[in-house]
Amino acid sequence: MISCVDRSGYSIKKPETLEELKHTFKIGFISLFDECFNVAPYFLKYPDEQLFEIYADHLKTGFLLFAYDKSGELVGFAGSRPLLDDEYVADDVKSFFKDPADCYYHSELGTAKAHRGKGLAMMLIEETIKQTPVSKILMRTKENNAPSIEIHKKAGFKPIEVTQIIKRRNTLGEDVDDKRVYMLYDKKA
């Protein structure tokens, strides 16, 4: 793991190998992910193997960040990868980019409930911006996810006029039409 930030009682590390990623899953990543997403407004859960594949894919072509508290407990995460690696999202936003290869998709972000409101997600977003090797960063969130929209605005992301409807069955067994909105950060703006 590469140490990226050590501040305000948190350390943020970047795994380099699948072994390191496996270790993160062993020490509680799945329950942290569930705490963030298998609740309102998402009620989303991936089978464990699929969640590992999603994160392994990020590690291969993009990067992951994991945050730990003073006692070494895993308390936050973020992940980004080249936009073109996510065909579905890239297709949605193609009219916005002359050069989509100049954009990363910041698809993952979450912090443990007990650590919210302490600036941890902002630290993860700032580090995401620093680690991104291209000038644009796209994020997508549920239209009513106020904490996510607000924090990204505060970090300098701006809404773009693209929305997406995802039809899916949530973990409550309901068929939902999830409206997602997009925001873009441009290092050159």
Residues that bind ligand COA (CB under 6 A): 36, 109-111, 116-122, 141, 145-148, 150-151, 154
Q: Name the minimum Å distance from CB 19 to ligand COA.
A: 26
Beta-carbon contacts of residue 153 (< 8 Å; ≥ 6 apart) = 183
Q: Name the minimum Å distance from CB 98 to ligand COA.
A: 25
Identify any residues that bridge with 164 across adjacent strands, giving them in sequence order.
180
Q: Put residue 98 in one of left, alpha, beta given phi > 0 → left and psi -120 to 50 → alpha.
A: alpha
Q: Whose Cβ is closer to ligand COA: residue 47's or residue 117's?
A: 117
Q: Name the minimum Å distance from CB 147 to ligand COA.
A: 3
Q: Whose Cβ is closer to ligand COA: residue 18's or residue 39's?
A: 39
Q: Whose Cβ is closer to ligand COA: residue 143's or residue 186's?
A: 143
Identify any residues that bridge with 105 across adjacent strands, giving them in sequence order.
81, 138
Residue type, 167: K
Q: Name the minimum Å distance from CB 17 to ligand COA.
A: 25
Q: Whose Cβ is closer to ligand COA: residue 17's or residue 159's?
A: 159
Burial 65-75 (b: 16+ CB within 10 A, else e): bbbbbeeeebb
